[in-house]
Amino acid sequence: MSETRWLGESEMAMWMAYLSATHLLERRVEDQLKVDSGLTHAQYEILARLSEHPDGRLRMTELARRLIISKSGLTYQIGQLERRGLVARTTCPSDERGVFAVLTEEGSRCLERTAPGHVAVVRAFLIDRLTPEEVETMRRIMTKAVAAIEAAPAGPLRGSPPGKRPG
């Protein structure tokens, strides 16, 4: 088993700043969405993803893949959105096992009302704090991270035994 490559001081500071920033930004986004529409961030993302398609519909399996959410987690969220009349489920005409999530007119209106506040939060606490070059650098960094995670086999990475630290 290989020795653990512990984070150096600068690496640890970057990691902690990343965690703090993402958690704090997520809280701000959740607060804004709750106040403006009563949506969770996951529910907002579902509406946003559906709105990206001309017919406002996506197969549930594809939507789960794009949102990086489990099928059961998506089913729960879709159920919540259905109760509010923001999304409907329909069966696939060519595959009786296939189910589509469909953005309703009320869902489109809700998204139109909510999106400006959502964008304002993202801009105020992230985008507008960066130069255009930093935005591009961050995009490249996050794209590399996504590619590495998607290419890795599922399951935990194995390192040194728990508790073993450099002495």
What pLDDT sits at residue 154?
81
Give me the residue spans of the domains in the chain.
Answer: 21-151
**Is 36's pLDDT higher than 90?**
yes
Measured at the CA of 134, the angle between CA 65 and CA 20, to 5 degrees, comes to 65
pLDDT one-digit tens code per residue, 101-138: 999 999 999 999 999 999 999 999 999 999 999 999 99
Confidence band of 165 (pLDDT split at 50, 70, 90): very low
pLDDT score of 98: 83
Give the integer Cα–Cα distance in Å for 60 and 142: 26
Kindly state the percentage of the chain with pLDDT values over 70: 93
Encoded amino acid at 96, one letter: E
- State the average pLDDT over residues 13-23: 97
Other residues' Cβ atoms within 10 Å of the Cβ of residue 74: 19
- pLDDT band for 1, please (50, 70, 90 cuts): low
Work out the average pLDDT over 160-167: 48
Considering the entire predicted model, what is its pTM?
0.85
Which range has highest mean pLDDT (14-23, 64-73, 90-99)? 14-23
Domain 21-151 fold: Arc Repressor Mutant, subunit A (1.10.10)
Give the pLDDT of residue 158.
Answer: 66
Interacting residues of 102 by C-beta distance below 8 A, sequence separation 6+: 50, 55, 56, 57, 87, 88, 89, 90
Angle at which helices 60-67 and 41-51 cross, to 10°: 120
CB 87 within 8 A of CB 47: yes
User: Distance between CA 59 and CA 91 in Å, rounded?
Assistant: 9
